[in-house]
Amino acid sequence: MPWAAGSYTKGNNGTGGWTGDASLGIGIEAGRHDTQDNDFATGINQCLNKDGSNAATGNLNLGGFKYTNAAAATARTELARVDQVQDGDFIWLGTTGGTATAQTSTATPAITAYKAGQKFRMKPGFSSTGTVFTSHTLDVNSLGAIAIIHQDGQSPTLGSWITGVGRVLELVYNDGFFVITSAPQYYQSYTPTVVPQAGTATSVTVNHAVFTRISSTILFNVNLGYTQSVASALYVEVSLPVRPANGNVMVPGTITPGGTTYISFGLLQVGTPGFARMYDYLQNPILTGAKTITISGHYQIG
């Protein structure tokens, strides 16, 4: 055989080639020529053609060298260049399309199936939504909509992620879900509603009402003014951005009644579902007139 241990050897190399044959008095013989030519043909056929017209039949050992000047990979079966891997080309989905609760995207090259461990990064085209746990899905390359969940298994709500410059959402596919591993969770505004125990709230002015979601916790800060039409016995309620998990959550807040000589201190608990209930610390009635409410704290959602 012409190839042995990675080196090519002519068939008549043992006699010194044709010059050796001549010195030994061996004439030109058809059989010896055919053997030599067959060795050439076998050796050539065992080589890779640079125009790609044949294929390797075994693992290739580069001997410590590397491929250079390679074109960028465009198919899943091609070798990736370092710059493509380093730049995250294959896991970046760009800005998602679709709707807030049913987003769509395209991976390039296209994936053909979902597989545990697949990671994707994207700029969300829509902020998450829902005052309660709400189904959100992502469909990559039209392979089917997959539910997005937090690592604690909860569905998204308002505050799970938001859109904007520099906002990146990262998901990993596992157990039939896209699991959030990194999300843009920043403070964002919401519009609270004020409901006294009795009567109505008028002239509601919101100085600020912001919140963010971290896992199953909502952090929020609200400061607003309103006028109460009639006195109520004990409390006033302020809507929260996401519904609390139960009725036992308490955080401090303040109610400052205008036209009085005291500043009362309120405790927040869940009254009407989705509302913070502010009681006067001294159990004074919530009188008519202008009021200021300040609430700052956190609660678990459910």
> Do residues 93 and 161 share a domain?
yes
Copy the structure tokens of residue 29. 């013989």
Last residue of a domain, one of 182, 216, 238: 182
Of the chain, the percentage scoring pLDDT greater than 70 comes to 83
Last residue of a domain, one of 119, 152, 182: 182
| Confidence at 263, pLDDT banded by 50, 70, 90 | very low
> Do residues 201 and 293 share a domain?
yes
Gap between the Cα atoms of 23 and 15, Å rounded: 9
In terms of Cα–Cα distance, which of 190, 120, 135, 137 is closest to 159? 190
Domain that holds residue 20: 3-45
pLDDT tens figures, 84-139: 999 999 999 999 999 999 999 999 999 999 999 999 999 999 999 999 999 999 99
- Evaluated on CA atoms 23, 29, 33, 34, the torsion sign reads negative
Gap between the Cα atoms of 194 and 227, Å rounded: 10
Q: Please report whether residue 62 resides in a domain.
A: no
What was the pLDDT predicted at 273? 74
| Confidence at 25, pLDDT banded by 50, 70, 90 | confident
Q: What is the pTM of this model?
A: 0.79
> Do residues 196 and 175 share a domain?
no
Copy the structure tokens of residue 212. 């963010």
Last residue of a domain, one of 136, 157, 182: 182
pLDDT tens figures, 216-252: 889 999 999 999 888 776 788 888 899 887 655 566 6
Give how many domains the chain has, as a whole number: 3
| Burial tier of 263 (Cβ tally within 10 Å: 0-12, 13-18, 19+) | exposed
Q: Please report whether residue 63 resides in a domain.
A: no
Return the DSSP state at 301.
Answer: B
Q: Please report whether residue 213 resides in a domain.
A: yes
Q: Where are the beta strands (DSSP E) in the chain?
A: 3-4, 7-8, 92-95, 97-98, 102-105, 119-123, 137-140, 145-149, 169-174, 177-182, 188-189, 194-196, 201-214, 217-228, 235-239, 251-257, 264-270, 275-280, 289-300
Q: Are 103 and 140 spatial neighbours (Cβ–Cβ below 8 Å)?
A: no
CA-only gyration radius of the chain, Å: 36
Q: Which residue has the higher pLDDT, 275 or 79?
A: 79
**Would the pLDDT of 265 be above 50?**
no
